[in-house]
């Protein structure tokens, strides 16, 4: 099993310690990249793929651990 497969499997198990950095890696697997707007993007983060699909999230703080509802939204958006 590749690292990509392991990351997807971990994400789909909705762990309570899934970090925002892991989400960035996951979204890159699906062709998304982070878009930073303005001088400082603050806690709002936008991810866009080549087809123009957008995912808007708030960067979790403190600690960077995603909330379950955020993970469910991303899962639904990606169709996993």
What digits encode the pLDDT tens for the residues 18-39?
999 999 999 999 999 988 776 5
Query: What is the DSSP track for 53-71?
Result: -EEEEEPP-SS-BPPHHHH
pTM of the entire predicted model: 0.85
Provide, rounded to the nearest whole percent, the portion of the chain with pLDDT above 90.
56
**Residue ranges per domain, the chain?**
3-78
Edge to edge, the sheet with strand 44-48 lists 33-35, 44-48, 54-58
Structure tokens at 52: 């123009």
Going along the chain, which residue ranges are E strands? 33-35, 44-48, 54-58
């Amino acid at each position: 099993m590749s690292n990509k497969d392991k990351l997807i499997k971990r994400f789909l198990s909705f762990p309570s310690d899934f970090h925002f950095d892991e989400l960035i890696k996951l979204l890159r697997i699906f062709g998304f990249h982070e878009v930073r707007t303005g001088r400082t993007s603050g806690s709002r983060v936008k991810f866009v793929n080549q087809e123009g699909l957008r995912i808007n999230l708030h960067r979790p703080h403190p600690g960077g651990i995603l909330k379950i509802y955020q993970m469910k939204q991303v899962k639904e958006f990606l169709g996993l």
